[in-house]
Structure 1
Amino acid sequence: MKKLLITGASGFLGWHLCQLAKQEWEVYSTYYSHFIEIPGIKILKVNLTDFQDLKQAFSDINPAAVIHTAAHSQPNFCQIYPQESHAVNVTASCNIAGLCADDCIPCAFTSTDQVFNGLNPPYNETAPVCPINIYGEQKVMAEMGMLERYPMTAVCRMPLLFGSATPTAQSFIQAFIQTLKEEKELNLFIDELRTPASGTTAAKGLLLALEKVNGIIHLGGKERISRYDFGSLLVEVFKLPSIGLKSCRQKDVKMSAPRPADVSLDSSKAFELGYQPLSVKEELEKIANQL
């Protein structure tokens, strides 16, 4: 089996990707601050922001391909700690592209729908980027820097992701479910729209992109949906009390990072390549059945 290096084993997407990739690859994965063990995966502690450490990992593993999922992906964190997040989100990403270029090996990178300002959805791969928060800005810098160093990189713009909790990470639905179960108030935006996908579906998309894509690809889900409507589906599928579910608008909640209103992705290019997300309801039913 060929060796695949996945950065970010302790992250939500990284963990889901490891589960899927180990069926076809000999998988090596990195963590830094959150130690994790994943059966069937060789885990290494690597400081991605230390170029020598990163270079040594490439030298030790000698991967046949790389998928880079490690990131500071909370927009509020990036807004408050721009230098710390830049080191991981931009500098490390560009260095990884450079190391992949040195060996001419496939490289896939997880970017975000937050590279757009949310005013002209849905967005396809040729839409001009215009981020409104620091996280989005950093991902744009990483996209440009990586493609400059290694044009063969598959830059995968990811949507809002959800799914089963991993040993070291949750998606947003775990907190939603807990709040609703306790019949506490859960205020969800009616004016923030996304094209969400499950962690497992997104992982399938990344493996597909690694094999078939050079340049930018969108890996959004099939449906454009508001946070509030997503919450309503959660209530229905998980049979939760709906008493706490309330609608609100973005302007009602103060956050460090500005949020775009509608960054729905047009992922028809990926669909044509064989990327097949389920509907949000079907994805949720799958997760509910695993519990």
Structure 2
Amino acid sequence: MKKLLITGASGFLGWHICQIAKPEWEIYGTYFSHFLEIPSVNMMKVNLTDFQEIKNIFNEINPTAVIHTAAHSQPNFCQTHPEESYTINVTASCNIAGLCADSAIPCAFTSTDLVFNGLNAPYKETDSVCPVSIYGEQKVKAEAGMLGRYPNTAVCRMPLMFGMTTPTAKSFIQPFIETLQAGKELNLFIDEFRTPVGGTTAAKGLLLALEKVQGLIHLGGKERISRYDFGQLLVDIFQISDAKLQGCRQQDVKMAAPRPADVSLDSSKAFALGYEPLSVQEELAALATSQDHDCKN
């Protein structure tokens, strides 16, 4: 059976890829700080910032393909810990691309829509990058470094992602739901726009890119939506009564990392390859249904 190495398998996206890929692949997943067991997945604790450790893993497993999701992906953390985040976000990524190049195996990398400054959306793969945060800068460096070492890398720019809680990770909607169900006020941006997708959809897109893409690809959803309008859909679909949802502007909230206003992705290139995101409403409705099912069991 083909062997797929997934870095960051304990993360939200990594866990979803494991679930989707299991029928087709023998999966080896790395974690660092969050141990978990995933049925039918070989989990390994690996410090990806140690080149020798990564090299040993490649030599032991001899993977057929690699999906590299491991990262410090919180922009505020990267802004305040630039050196610590650089080692995993840039150095480790370039090393992984080099090892994939040595074996001439498919490699997919998860970049971000935050490589753009938010002033000229929707963004195509051919548009110039211009990040406003350190996290965005690090992903730009990783993209260039990986493609420099291994031009066959599929560099997948991911949008905002959401979905069910995994054993070791949440998406951004869980705190939203908890806040609203507790009767507390939730302030969401009316002037920040993304093209979000569910975790399962994103995982399918990455596996498609691994097979069909070399170079840049955007894996955004089919609709541009503000954080506030996303929250309104969440309230309606999860039937949260008396929800205290308030609109605010980016300038009203002080955060360590600057935020772009609109990093909506034009993902028509991926759609033409067979990438099929559901609408946000459909994704949320499916989550609400599965949550109801889990509660009844």
- Range into which the TM-score falls when normalised by the shorter chain: over 0.9
Structure 1 runs (4+) greater than 3 angstroms displaced: none
Q: For residues 205 and 289 of structure 2, what CA distance do their matches in structure 1 show?
A: 22
* CA contact 2:119–2:262 (8 Å) conserved in 1: yes
> What are the superposed Cα offsets for residues 103-128 of structure 1, whole Å, 9 maximum, x if unpaired?
00000000000000000000000000
Residue equivalent to 1:37: 37
Question: C-alpha distance in 1, partners of 2:81/2:242?
Answer: 36
Q: CA deviation at 1:288?
A: 1.0
Q: Deviations over 1:78-118 (max 9, x none)?
A: 00000010000000000000000000000000000000000
Which residue does the alignment assign to 1:46? 46
1:98-113 superposed matches below 5 A: 98-113=98-113
Instruction: Report Cα offsets for 1:261-287 as digits up to 9, x if no partner.
Output: 000000000000000000000000111
Contact 2:152 2:215 in 1 (8 A): yes
User: Secondary structure in 2 aligned to 1:186?
Assistant: strand
Give the residue type in structure 1 aligned to 2:68.
H
The structural deviation recorded for 1:241 is 2.4
Report the secondary structure of 1:217's partner residue: strand
Q: Deviations over 1:196-248 (max 9, x none)?
A: 00000000000000000000000000110000000000001100124310000
Deviations 1:11-64 (CA, angstroms, capped at 9, x unpaired): 100000111011110000000111111001000011000000010011111000
Aligned match of 2:219: 219
Distance 2:79 2:45 in 1: 26
Pairwise mapping of residues 51-130 of structure 1 onto structure 2 (< 5 A)? 51-130=51-130
Tell me: CA distance 1:271–1:57, structure 2 relative to 1, closer, same or farther (3 Å): same
Give the conservation status (yes or no) of the 8 Å contact 2:235–2:243. Answer: no
1:207 and 1:230 map into 2 onto residues whose CA distance is: 26
* Secondary structure at the counterpart of residue 236 of structure 2: helix
Corresponding letter in the other structure for 1:206:
L
Please list the CA deviations of residues 138-163 of structure 1 after superposition, one character each: whole Å capped at 9, or x if unmatched: 00000000000000000000000000
Whether the 8 Å contact between 1:235 and 1:242 is mirrored in structure 2 is no
Q: Which amino acid aligns with 2:94?
A: C
- The equivalent residue for 2:231 is 231
Give the AA of the match of 2:103. D
**Cα offset, 1:290, TM superposition:** 1.1
SS in 2 for 1:288: helix
Aligned Cα RMSD in Å? Answer: 0.5
